[in-house]
């Protein structure tokens, strides 16, 4: 095992409100502090820009000692590689189900944690001649569009929700993901929660048997098909739609309010009681001003890191934990800058509790890392740098 002796004085206090500030400088001069390690992750395409930005920032904060390599392969691929133990962490917009959790516990002797790292909001994107952003949809219209029951944009049900828009007669083309996708899981979970017909005939998941439509791989594939097909409607993450200047709609939520997608509305959607393992879908949220087609994006990590074949040493395990702690605390500062909703404090607290249980050969290294952090937003480093220390 490698020991690292970076200079750090950190401690953790869990109260009603938890706020982390990394208040240390990276140690200089010791042989172990110069060790360079790679953290390997893969999964959902939605959070890829955020995780890439976090990786760049984290590499800077660690004096280029730690490089986080994240491959955007979709939630389905991330879950598969996580279970196969070819990556140190996975990412998905669909939490691990009971069957997969049982399989992991059988093979590793421990749990697999689902830790929220950001919020995913999925919006209806469309290509309607002469119509920009802001078309209003309700659950019935969205369901009937994707079931093939509404086939033209001048349908009375659409016109009734949008009295100020003159919809021309134009056939509807449905676009959906062709790959295993957490974005699809959120979209189909919403449709299943609002329509019994959809739930029984199509269902929900990272991949479903679509009643109709054309498929595109990744957010980019759906976006390309929508923008190149007049009359098309698909679904994309809000951040992707904004970055690519795509028209997207508002959705009437379960409280009857028209909700324009936004960071605030997405964060409000999770203003509900969370289970300790955070495995919850809050599509069709009861929150009065919450956006209804939203969910967590989770980082998946093993409780027993020594049982993950992708992690070769205690040093690597500790660096994985350190990155997790930073990503759910200080790393959240990057979220809204890049078009993502930041984690609510309740989710951060649940994550802290799970991290405390992470082990290496029975040793609670997660708690050791947490014990090295000093809480408090007012703590700033004299030279303006935030740094990352190592556990001995």
pLDDT per residue over 295-310, tens digit each? Answer: 999 999 999 999 999 9
Q: Which residue, 268, 271, 263, is CA-closest to 336?
A: 263
Taking residues 16-29, what's their average pLDDT? 34
Q: Do 180 and 327 belong together in one domain?
A: no
Taking residues 231-246, what's their average pLDDT? 93
- Is 244 contained in some domain? yes
Tokens coding 269: 């959607």
CATH number at residue 284: 3.40.190.10
Q: Do 181 and 257 belong together in one domain?
A: yes
What confidence score (pLDDT) does residue 357 get?
Answer: 98
Angle at 68 between CA 63 and CA 71, to 5 degrees: 155
What confidence score (pLDDT) does residue 32 get?
Answer: 40
Q: How far apart are CA 303 and CA 92, in angstroms?
A: 17
Residue with tokens 């000093």: 374
Q: Do 238 and 146 belong together in one domain?
A: yes
- Is 372 contained in some domain? no
What confidence score (pLDDT) does residue 34 get?
Answer: 61
Residue with tokens 């930005």: 53
Q: What is the pLDDT of residues 351-387, one digit of tens each?
A: 999 999 999 999 999 999 999 875 433 344 334 544 4
Q: What is the pLDDT of residues 201-215, one digit of tens each?
A: 999 998 999 999 999
Q: How far apart are CA 274 and CA 281, in angstroms?
A: 10
The domain boundary, picked from 248, 278, 294, lies at 294
Which of helix, strand or coil describes residue 210? coil
The residue with greater pLDDT, 3 or 97, is 97
What confidence score (pLDDT) does residue 321 get?
Answer: 97
The domain boundary, picked from 274, 294, 314, lies at 294
What confidence score (pLDDT) does residue 97 get?
Answer: 94
- Is 51 contained in some domain? yes
Q: Do 181 and 197 belong together in one domain?
A: yes
Q: What is the pLDDT of residues 135-183, one digit of tens each?
A: 999 999 999 999 999 999 999 999 999 999 999 999 999 999 998 888 8
- Is 6 contained in some domain? no
Q: Do 276 and 150 belong together in one domain?
A: yes
Q: How far apart are CA 236 and CA 248, in angstroms?
A: 9
Q: Do 286 and 305 belong together in one domain?
A: no
Domain count, the chain: 2
Q: 315: alpha, beta or left, given left = phi > 0 and alpha = psi -120 to 50?
A: alpha
Q: Do 195 and 320 belong together in one domain?
A: no
Q: Do 178 and 278 belong together in one domain?
A: yes
- Is 369 contained in some domain? no
Please, are residues 231 and 174 in contact by the beta-carbon 8 Å criterion?
Answer: no
Which of helix, strand or coil describes residue 377? coil
- Is 18 contained in some domain? no
The domain boundary, picked from 257, 276, 294, lies at 294
Q: Do 180 and 201 belong together in one domain?
A: yes
Q: Positive or negative, the Cα torsion across 390, 13, 385, 27?
A: negative
Q: Do 80 and 141 belong together in one domain?
A: no
Upper half-sphere CA count for residue 232 (Cβ side, 13 Å): 22
- Is 148 contained in some domain? yes
Q: Do 108 and 145 belong together in one domain?
A: no
For the chain, what's the residue count? 392
- Is 306 contained in some domain? yes
> Which residue range forms the structural domain that includes residue 356?
30-118+295-362
The residue with greater pLDDT, 25 or 129, is 129
Q: Do 133 and 264 belong together in one domain?
A: yes
Strands 112-126, 232-237: pairing kind: antiparallel
């Amino acid at each position: 095992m490698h020991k690292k002796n970076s200079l750090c004085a950190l401690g953790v206090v869990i109260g009603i409100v938890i706020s982390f500030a990394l208040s240390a400088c990276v140690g200089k001069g010791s042989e172990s502090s110069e060790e360079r390690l790679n953290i390997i992750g893969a999964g959902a395409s939605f959070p890829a820009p955020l995780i890439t930005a976090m990786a760049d920032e984290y590499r800077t904060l660690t004096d280029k000692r730690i490089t986080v390599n994240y491959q955007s392969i979709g939630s389905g691929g991330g879950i598969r590689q996580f279970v196969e133990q070819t990556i140190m962490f996975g990412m998905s917009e669909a939490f691990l189900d009971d069957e997969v959790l049982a399989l992991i516990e059988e093979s590793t002797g421990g749990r697999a944690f689902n830790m929220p790292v950001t919020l995913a909001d999925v919006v209806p994107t469309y290509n309607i001649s002469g119509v920009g952003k802001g078309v209003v949809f309700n659950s019935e219209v969205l369901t009937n569009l994707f079931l093939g029951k509404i086939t033209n944009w001048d349908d009375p049900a659409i016109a009734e929700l949008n009295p100020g828009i003159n919809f021309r007669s134009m056939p509807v083309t449905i676009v959906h993901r062709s790959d295993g996708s957490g974005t699809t899981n959120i979209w189909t979970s919403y449709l299943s929660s609002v329509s019994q017909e959809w739930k029984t005939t199509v269902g929900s998941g990272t991949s479903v048997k679509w009643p109709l439509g054309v498929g595109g791989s990744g957010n980019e594939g759906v976006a390309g098909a929508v923008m190149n097909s007049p009359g098309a409607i698909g679904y994309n993450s809000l951040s992707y739609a904004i970055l690519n200047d795509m028209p997207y709609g508002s959705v009437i939520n379960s409280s009857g309010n028209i909700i324009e997608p936004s960071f605030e509305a997405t964060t409000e959607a999770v203003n509900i009681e969370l289970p300790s393992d955070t495995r919850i879908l809050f599509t069709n949220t009861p929150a009065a001003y919450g956006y209804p087609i939203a969910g967590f994006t989770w980082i998946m990590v093993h409780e027993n890191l020594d049982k993950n074949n992708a992690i070769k040493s205690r040093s690597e395990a500790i660096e994985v934990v350190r990155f997790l702690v930073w990503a759910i605390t200080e790393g959240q500062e990057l979220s809204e800058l890049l078009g993502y909703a930041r984690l609510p404090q309740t989710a951060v607290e649940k994550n802290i509790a799970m991290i405390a249980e992470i082990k290496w050969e029975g040793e609670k290294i997660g708690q050791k890392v947490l014990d090295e952090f000093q809480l408090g937003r007012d703590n700033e480093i004299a030279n303006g740098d935030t740094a990352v220390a190592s556990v001995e």
